[in-house]
Amino acid sequence: MDDILVQISKCVESGKIDKVSPYPPDMKGQDGADELAKQALDKGIKPDQILENALIPAMAIVGDRFSRKEIYVPQMLMAAKAMSSAMKHLKPFFQSGEAKRKGKFIVGTVAGDLHDIGKNLVAMMIEGGGWEVIDLGVDVGTDKFMKAIEENPGAVIGLSALLTTTMENMKKTVASIREKHPDLRILVGGAPVTKEYCEKIGADFYSPDPQGAVNYLNQAV
């Protein structure tokens, strides 16, 4: 793997955001994920390579360390910030889809859940795929989804959940949407969500990754 991708990965794992960031102390004064992602793009490395070979694997390592109690929430948060600082350079590439929009996509992380990195990736890729994205953010309750649906009739809905505890809220939101809008298409995703769970709660489609979500939407129009 290209050395710069290894360095980006290390920055995300360690929570090194940018050069001025004093955290972690042993990397003080060094370039962070922010500068290195820009340098990688300048070198001609493709944005999806940076994402798939450096950022996503680094976050998986962070998650494993958290599971093993080798790191705690503050370190996980710094890693997420480092990933976001790299993502801001990749975003324009993922968003530069066709100008003509194929339809609307309402997306949000379900109530009680603050994880947004995966949801943001999905939103970016779908926007890049030519859809207008209405991103409701994190901790989105059913009422907020319903309001957005009323304001954007016919939109496809996307729900993300990263916690086993908030999967229950995903189920409740899907049930409420189904009750009032039986014909709307609902897409679900997030690390603990499965195809079986999607079927169980009456959503239309489960995708484990952003590309699957893009393919589903494109095939739905």
Chain contacts with ligand B1M (rule: CB under 6 A): 56, 59-60, 62-63, 66-67, 73, 76-77, 80, 107, 112-119, 121-122, 158-160, 162-165, 187-192, 207, 209-210, 213
| CA-based torsion, 44, 213, 91, 192: positive or negative | negative
Contact 59, 13 (CB under 8 A): no
Is the CB of 134 or the CB of 163 nearer to ligand B1M? 163
Is the CB of 13 or the CB of 31 nearer to ligand B1M? 13
Q: Estimate the crossing angle of helix 73-95 against helix 33-42, to 10 degrees.
A: 30
User: What is the SS3 assignment for 150?
Assistant: helix
Cβ at position 29, least distance to ligand B1M in Å: 25
Cβ at position 63, least distance to ligand B1M in Å: 2
Q: How many CB atoms lie within 10 A of CB 213?
A: 27
C-alpha to C-alpha distance for 215 and 43, rounded to whole angstroms: 30
Is the CB of 17 or the CB of 107 nearer to ligand B1M? 107
Cβ at position 10, least distance to ligand B1M in Å: 16
Token pair for residue 125?
A: 């890729």
Is the CB of 41 or the CB of 186 nearer to ligand B1M? 186
Q: What angle do CA 81, 50, 110 make, to 5 degrees?
A: 50
